[in-house]
């Protein structure tokens, strides 16, 4: 398989899995097992493609928030997005600097997939008993910020799964409202995380020797695929539960434990 074709496939996989609650890390681990390992720079760039995708999906919502800060409703929502991001930054940066993160290897990722799938089933069951909540409380904002840190420490958890389901469990029980808040909080978070990782990479190793054609192909594939996936997901969850994603996670995690060598 050519390098350009593998770059295309990796970009598509990133776009497909970054925002679904199924763990992009686990899927890229399997994909790179077959398609070959890529550089840290390559992985940062394809995530940047996913960030571009979600920014485009929510461009009108972001614009209305930015231009409507004089309205109490918009100002309150924007402040809670900011608080969630600040919680992630203030807690997550020391955690990252301390090196508190499990390795991107099969066993911890597989267990995170299985446990996360069970968590999704339990959380959605109890969230549905709370009615159709649409208000983002300060508790939800802080909890979403902390959930992003947890997802960063435990690869395979899935940032979208951790944030959406903690929001639902704490009162933002309407699936579409929880997903919107989680995704919007994810925009500055992912921008900051990718920017920080890129700066670390440049200062440490530089970015020489990259195949820029492959990088461009993967970035574009991740952006286009991510855009389509988020648009589909936001429509799907208006009338469907997350049960299918939870079952898929559990099955995928078990398959990883049985299939790939634990050291990979």
In the predicted structure, residue 179 carries a pLDDT above the cut 80: yes
Q: What is the mean pLDDT of the chain?
A: 89
- Residue 32's pLDDT band (boundaries 50, 70, 90)? confident
Q: Identify the pLDDT of residue 38.
A: 84
Q: Identify the pLDDT of residue 25.
A: 82
3-class SS letters over 107-175: HHHHHHHHHHHHHHHHHHHHHHCCCCCCCCCHHHHHHHHHHHHHHHHCCCCCHHHHHHHHHHHCCCCCH
User: pLDDT tens-digit profile of 88-102?
Assistant: 999 988 987 787 777
Of the chain, the percentage scoring pLDDT greater than 90 comes to: 60
Q: Give 209's DSSP letter.
A: T
Range with lowest mean pLDDT among 3-7, 38-42, 52-56, 116-120: 38-42
CA dist., res. 71 & res. 74, Å (int) = 6
In the predicted structure, residue 263 carries a pLDDT above the cut 80: no
Helices (H) and strands (E) in the chain, counts: 11, 0
In the predicted structure, residue 262 carries a pLDDT above the cut 60: no
Whether this model's pTM surpasses 0.85: yes
- Residue 264's pLDDT band (boundaries 50, 70, 90)? low
Collapsed DSSP state (helix, strand, coil) of residue 60: helix
Mean pLDDT of 217-239: 95
Q: Identify the pLDDT of residue 187.
A: 93
User: pLDDT tens-digit profile of 118-171?
Assistant: 999 999 999 888 878 889 999 999 999 999 999 988 888 899 999 999 999 998
Q: Identify the pLDDT of residue 261.
A: 59
Q: Identify the pLDDT of residue 128.
A: 85
Q: Identify the pLDDT of residue 260.
A: 64
Mean pLDDT of 207-235: 90
Q: Identify the pLDDT of residue 210.
A: 75
CA dist., res. 212 & res. 194, Å (int) = 18
Maximum Cα–Cα distance for the chain, whole Å?
56
């Amino acid at each position: 398989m050519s390098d350009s074709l593998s770059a295309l496939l990796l970009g598509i996989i990133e776009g497909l899995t970054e925002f679904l609650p199924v763990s992009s890390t686990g899927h890229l681990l399997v994909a790179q097992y077959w398609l070959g390992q890529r550089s840290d720079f390559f992985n940062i760039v394809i995530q940047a493609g996913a960030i571009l995708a979600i920014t485009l999906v929510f461009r009108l919502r972001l614009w209305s928030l930015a231009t409507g800060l004089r309205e109490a409703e918009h100002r309150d929502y924007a402040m809670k997005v900011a608080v969630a991001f600040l919680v992630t930054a203030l807690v997550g940066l020391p955690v990252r600097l301390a090196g508190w993160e499990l390795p991107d290897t099969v066993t911890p990722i597989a267990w995170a997939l299985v446990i996360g799938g069970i968590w999704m089933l339990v959380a959605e069951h109890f969230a549905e008993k709370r009615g159709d909540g649409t208000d983002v409380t300060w508790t939800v904002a802080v909890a979403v910020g902390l959930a992003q840190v947890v997802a960063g420490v435990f690869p395979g958890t899935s940032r979208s799964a951790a944030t959406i389901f903690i929001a639902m469990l704490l009162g933002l029980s309407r699936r579409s409202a929880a997903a919107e808040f989680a995704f919007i909080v994810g925009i500055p978070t992912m921008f900051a995380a990718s920017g920080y990782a890129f700066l670390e990479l440049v200062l440490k190793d530089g970015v020489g020797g990259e195949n820029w054609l492959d990088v461009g192909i993967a970035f574009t594939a991740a952006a286009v695929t991510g855009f389509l996936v988020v648009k589909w997901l936001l429509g799907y969850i208006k009338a469907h539960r997350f049960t299918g994603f939870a079952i898929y996670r559990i099955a995928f995690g078990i398959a990883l434990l049985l299939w790939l060598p634990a050291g990979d």
